[in-house]
Every structure is written in C-alpha cells, then in structure tokens.
Amino acid sequence: MKPWPVLAATVFALFLWQAIVSLTGLPKFILPGPVIVAQAWWDNLAVIAENTLVTAAEVLIGLVIGVALGVLTALHLATSRTARLLVQPILVFTQALPVFALAPILTLWLGFGLWSKIAMAVLIIYFPVTASFFDGLMRTPQGYLDLARTMQATPLRVLWHIRVPAALPSLASGIRLAAVYAPIGAVIGEWVGASRGLGYLMLLANGRAKTDLMFAAMLTLGVFSVLLHLAVRRLTRDLGRHVRS
C-alpha cells in the first residue's frame, strides 16, 4: 500500500471531521474537533502509551494463539472424517453465540488480568482462521492429487507437500482477517472488566466526561489496528513469495 493515498484519505477525514464540528456547532463534550483531540492525546501521551502496550500485548498474544489453534484444528478436520462429523457442527454452533455474552463468563473464570482479554481475542479470530485454512485444504486442485496418487505418495506426504502449500493463500486471508478482529476481542474484554488497556481508558474517560481523551484513545486503537493489519499483510505476502519460490 502506497503512503500517499493513505495520507490523502487521512487529511480528507480530518477536514470532514472539522467541517462537521464547525457547521453543526456541536458542543465539545459531544464531538470535539480534531485539534482538541490531538491536544488531549499529547497531554495524556504517557497514559495512552501505557494502556496501548497492554492492549497490544493482549492482541498479539491472542493472535498467535488463535492462529496456531486454528491451523491445528483445520489440519485435524481435513485429515479426519470423524472430526468433520463431530467437531465441525460444534464450531458452527459456537459462532451463533454472541461474543459479548461470553466476555463476562471469561472474566469470571480468568479474572480481570490479561488472560481473559487474550481468550476473547482468541475466540473471535479462531473460527475465521480455521474456516479459511480448512476450505483451502479441501479445495486442492484435483490434478495435484491425481499426480500424487499416481506416484503412490502417502497421505502424510500429500498433506504436507501438496495440500498445505496449496492452501497457504487461504490461510493468509484468514490471518489477515484475524488481525482486524483481534483488537475487537481484546477491547470487548476490557469493556467488561479491566484496570488497564485502551478499552478501559475509553470507559474511564467517558465516565469522567472527558470526550476528547476518549476520542484520543479510540483513534490510537484505530491506528494500532491499521498498523497491525499492514504488518500481517506484509508478512503473509512475504510467506507466499517464499513458498512459491
């Protein structure tokens, strides 16, 4: 992604934001302007940075665990008909449960520390990674499988040398999607119960009528999410190039 379109879009969004504030005359406690939010961000830089590190740790750890569990589950589903009959319906059922309803339960079980937020991030990204990689494993080009059968390759060799490489683009798509969802899971956990993190800071600022600080924390979370998505996108693209080479 080139920087100029991103910069142009950012400038346009800030201009539109300021125009809305100026034209509507909304009070600052309803919608502060970008200059006021920037000043609040600078005045509370140390607090925002401290809470950003907490949320970043929750997101990154949850992303690693969620992707690892998703990959292992997809491999198991692809190689076991019994697992597809028993486990796959359970996975689909769990997606019907609202994530917001699970957050209080996880907080009750795991406490108000990092692990309840990590668990929320894992839950919200686990299914997209599993589903994407599983679909890729099950859609291996038939010509590759016929060639492997002709050469009398074992099922394990077919899996690691043909099916997994062919499914890596699907896995990359799932990981990129997970990078977008992971911050959502962590912040939901912080909203339910936390003493640190950007979600906690937003609730604290809202309770004290510091709307400018709340916007500053929210925009910091947005910037972090975009940077995480770009980093994951770069890593998965480099992985794809390495595999093709």
Residue 84 pLDDT: 87
Q: Is the pLDDT of residue 57 over 90?
A: yes
Structural domain boundaries enclosing 184: 33-244
Distance CA 74, CA 134 (A): 5
In angstroms, the CA 56 to CA 121 distance is 11
- Asked if the structure places residue 227 within a domain, the reply is yes
- Say how far apart CA 107 and CA 151 lie, in whole Å: 53
Average pLDDT, the chain: 88
Q: What six digits make up the tokens of 193?
A: 């119960």
Instruction: Give the Cα separation of 224 and 218 in Å (integer).
Output: 10
Residue 243 in this model has a pLDDT that exceeds 70: no
Minimum mean pLDDT range among 13-22, 152-161, 190-199, 234-243: 234-243
Residue 114 inside a domain? The answer is: yes
**Do the domain assignments include residue 111?**
yes
DSSP 8-class letter at 95: T
Tokens of 78: 């692809």
Rounded to an integer, what distance in angstroms lies between the CA atom of residue 228 and that of residue 230?
A: 5
If one counts the domains in the chain, the total is 1
Is 187 a domain residue? yes
Q: With contact defined as beta carbons under 8 Å apart, do 155 and 219 qualify?
A: no
- CATH number assigned to the domain comprising residue 170: 1.10.3720.10
Question: Is the full-model pTM beyond 0.85?
Answer: yes
pLDDT of 238 over the 70 cut: no
Which DSSP letter does residue 161 get? Answer: I
- The pLDDT assigned to 119 comes to 92
pLDDT > 90: percent of the chain: 49
Using DSSP, state whether 151 is helix, strand or coil.
coil
pLDDT band (50, 70, 90) for residue 146:
confident
Q: Give 3 or 166, the one with higher predicted confidence.
A: 166
Separation between Cα atoms, residue 130 and residue 90, nearest integer Å: 13
Neighbours of 184 (CB within 10 A): 18
| DSSP assignment of 16-80 | HHHHHHHHH---TTTS--HHHHHHHHHHTHHHHHHHHHHHHHHHHHHHHHHHHHHHHHHHHHHH-
The pLDDT assigned to 81 comes to 87
Lowest-confidence region among 29-33, 62-66, 130-134, 140-144: 140-144
C-alpha gyration radius of the chain: 22
Q: Shortest CA distance to 199 belongs to which of 76, 49, 40, 51?
A: 51
What average pLDDT does the segment 36-50 reach? 95
Classify residue 207: in a domain, yes or no. yes
Output the CA–CA distances (angstroms, integers) from residue 130 to 77, 134, 204, in the order listed.
9, 6, 35
Confirm whether 56 is domain-assigned: yes
Q: How far apart are CA 209 and CA 216, in angstroms?
A: 13
Q: Is the pLDDT of residue 240 over 60?
A: no
Quick check: is 119 in a domain?
yes
Reduce the DSSP state of residue 12 to 3 states and report it. helix
Whether residue 92 is predicted with pLDDT greater than 90 in this model: the reply is no
Q: Is the pLDDT of residue 1 over 70?
A: no
pLDDT at 148: 82
- The answer as to whether 20 is a domain residue is no
